[in-house]
Chains A and B, each alone.
Chain A
Amino acid sequence: MAIIGGYLAYLFRYQLAFPNEPVPGYGLVGPDQYNSFVTMHGTIMVFWVAMPILLSGFGNFLLPLMIGAGDMAFPRLNMTSYWVFFLSTVVLLLSFFVPGGSFSGGWTIYPPLSASPGYTGVIWGGHLWILAVALEFTSMLMGGINFLTTTVAMRAKGMGLFRLPIFVWMINIASILFMFSVGPLIAGAFMLLADRLFDVGFYLPASGGDPLLFQHLFWFFGHPEVYVLLLPALGIIAEIFPVFSRKPLFGYRTIIYSTLVAGLLSFIVWAHHQFISGIDPRLAAPFSVTTILISVPFAITLFAFIATLWRGSIRLTTSMLFALGMLAEFLVGGVTGIFNGSTAADIYIHDTLFVVAHFHYTLFPVTFIATFAGIYYWYPKMFGRFMNETWGKVHFWITIIGFNAVFLPMFAFGLAGHQRRIFDPTLFDYLQPYQYLHVIATVGLIVMLAGQIPFIINFFASLSRGKVVDRNPWLANTLEWLAPSPPGHGNFDQEPVVQRGPYEYSHPLLKERDWISQGEL
């Protein structure tokens, strides 16, 4: 799915740089197709790439290992959740091939555009979109319940709540956020389906409905959802930093508490997506305040990470590079979020490429950079071999440089007044002087996509050629490194008993080495 999402980005990115020229490897992209590609790109990247990789992928593999459990609490539920997810993917992909094409009203499926097939000409594509997302969420809910139960019930002896690795905390907080936010959206989406099929009129002004209601329901889910993606990514890099700086994670409990606070706050910020939708202006002020407030707990977390690195003996392995890259790029995303969060500034930059740049500076590090960090780091555990470090570094630099080339220009472009979701920017005279920025971004994207080839080759070649490693090649503390690589059925040879916290590096009492495993006496 990541490849499809990236391919779609390539198609419409090319169209933006060279309007109305056939895209190499595809052909001409028409306006309708453009809208549909943008919509599906957003949908796929958020719901079919970020969520399944970060939560389900890393969560299912790591969570039981890290808490010293043999398996997830409900293995069958896990299988069900996997197949429901598979079904949702089929439904979503089918929507590309039905008459009228896939949905094209933006990934937020705002009514009235989405409430009546008449507006976009998309009939089945829209129904299938709603169905696919509902299935996907059902699958994620099953997964979330499984994570929570597993963490509550299956921890190894001695694994108290404050000895859990940060990653485990993050997965659980993310699952809770998802659980409490997803209800309104599923309900809202089915109301939308009812509007589309039977013209019930929940959202259609012509039938007495209110499109704003949908925006509230969508973003009540949508904002916490951003943290559902972010938290596992922060968890991944929180595992990597202590290992490669040989220092305890700074402020372990503080990170947990501030994440909980951020989680709670995430339920009262959603209307910052609606500053210019015509909501009550008296609502805008409190939402502006809570939005800016929420940056405090995240700032605390990021500072804790930086303090972890401070004066550590840092080893720049590929996974460490990616983890640092994630931190740096995410910082840019976070800081520019403050601009969007203040109503006055947002009125100007809303729906421009500035916003597109902002959320890609948050979502791309979360979705891809953190994932790469995690893959390079845990690959030895998954397959018992190292990935090639030199090619890993090549992959890192191409990805980072490419990524910034794509999105850095968009900040400038957005401030210059470039609206998002525009098919042909050359139609606007005032944008002409900046058109070269689109060309830079597109070239950047092509470089970046090409940069993934070394990674893919490296990944598969290392399966048979990578250097064979023993259980704990990075000399890390957490329990997963006690299990054989790859972990067999039941994960551990013998049930681990936890003696201490997860980040005991550079302990003054340790003589010969600077680390001591969580499961060691």
Chain B
Amino acid sequence: MKPRHLVGIWVLLLVLLGVSLLLANLGNVLLATTLIFGVAALKATLVALFYMRLKWEPGYIFAIIFTGLAVVLILFFTLVPDIIYVYGN
């Protein structure tokens, strides 16, 4: 990866930052939140792939990442019924 490309990614990240700032002005709050989180996920992916060089790592790195994510999701979604139980509807 040439430095030029890395700068390019950086510019892209800045543009995406601008996009999410603009999205904040959207009338529909739910839509805005969803889109902002989507853009943030995109940015995180770009950073991980290019700056953390995961794009050039062997496949099992992704297996590790996804296992971690799966475990977090288990924790998160099992807590939901409990939170609903404690705090009502």
Which residues of chain A have a CB within 8 Å of any CB of chain B? 180-181, 183-184, 210, 212-213, 216, 220, 267-268, 271, 278-280, 282-283
The verdict on B26 contacting chain A, using a C-beta distance below 8 Å, is: no
Residues of B within 8 A of A183 (CB): 72
Q: Which of B3-11, B14-22, B30-38, B77-85 contacts A (4 or more CB under 8 A)?
A: B77-85
Measured CA separation A267–B74 after assembly (Å): 8
> Are A216 and B74 in touch, CB under 8 angstroms?
no
> Are B81 and A280 in touch, CB under 8 angstroms?
yes
Residues of A within 8 A of B68 (CB): 180
> Are A212 and B82 in touch, CB under 8 angstroms?
yes
Q: What are 22 pairs between A and B in contact, CB < 8 Å?
A: A180-B67, A180-B71, A183-B72, A184-B75, A210-B86, A212-B86, A213-B79, A220-B75, A267-B75, A268-B74, A268-B78, A271-B78, A278-B86, A280-B81, A280-B84, A280-B85, A280-B86, A282-B81, A283-B78, A283-B81, A283-B82, A283-B85
Residues of B within 8 A of A271 (CB): 78
Residues of A within 8 A of B74 (CB): 267-268
From 32 to 80 in chain B, residues with beta carbon under 8 angstroms from any chain A beta carbon are 67-68, 71-72, 74-75, 78-79
Per CB-CB distance, the 10 closest pairs between chain A and chain B, nearest first, are A280-B85, A180-B71, A280-B82, A280-B81, A279-B82, A220-B75, A283-B81, A267-B74, A267-B71, A216-B79
Measured CA separation A278–B87 after assembly (Å): 12
Residues of A within 8 A of B67 (CB): 180
- Contacts A279-B82, A283-B78 aside, 13 further interface pairs with beta carbons under 8 A come to A180-B67, A180-B68, A181-B71, A210-B86, A213-B79, A216-B75, A267-B74, A267-B75, A268-B74, A280-B84, A280-B85, A280-B86, A283-B82
Taking the closest CB of chain B, its distance from the CB of A292, in whole angstroms, is 17
- In the complex formed, the residue of B with least CB distance to A281 is B85
Residues of B within 8 A of A279 (CB): 82, 85
Residues of B within 8 A of A220 (CB): 75
- In the complex formed, the residue of A with least CB distance to B68 is A180
- In the complex formed, the residue of A with least CB distance to B81 is A280
- In the complex formed, the residue of A with least CB distance to B75 is A220
- In the complex formed, the residue of B with least CB distance to A286 is B78
Residues of A within 8 A of B82 (CB): 212, 216, 279-280, 283
Measured CA separation A378–B68 after assembly (Å): 35
Most chain B beta-carbon contacts within 10 A, residue among A268, A271, A280: A280
Residues of A within 8 A of B71 (CB): 180-181, 267
Taking the closest CB of chain A, its distance from the CB of B61, in whole angstroms, is 12
Measured CA separation A183–B35 after assembly (Å): 28
Taking the closest CB of chain B, its distance from the CB of A179, in whole angstroms, is 8
